[in-house]
Amino acid sequence: MSGDIAFNNQVQRTICVDVHYVLFIIDKFAGSTRLIDELDIRKSAPQPIRTESIATEAAVLVQ
């Protein structure tokens, strides 16, 4: 945002909102259910793969 460099309070406005609330408004009040259906909304972040567990599983498969 340009407000990080220079802020003019007569021109610039910034609000902070939770993305869950934005999605709720789009879905329920804007009536844009098709837009919500097109989004790839994930419930949680993917978990990193632990290399130790892969090595253990590979060792079990080899035996």
* SS3 (DSSP) at 11: coil
Q: Residue 60 above 60 pLDDT?
A: yes
CB distance 59 to 49 below 8 Å = no
Q: How many Å is the maximal CA-CA distance in the chain?
A: 72
pTM: 0.42
Spell out the alpha helix ranges (H) of 1-63: 19-28, 33-38, 51-62
The model's pLDDT over 6-55, given as tens digits with 9 standing for 90+, comes to 777 777 777 788 888 888 888 888 888 788 888 877 777 777 776 666 66
Tokens representing 54 are 């892969």
Domain ranges of the chain: 16-41
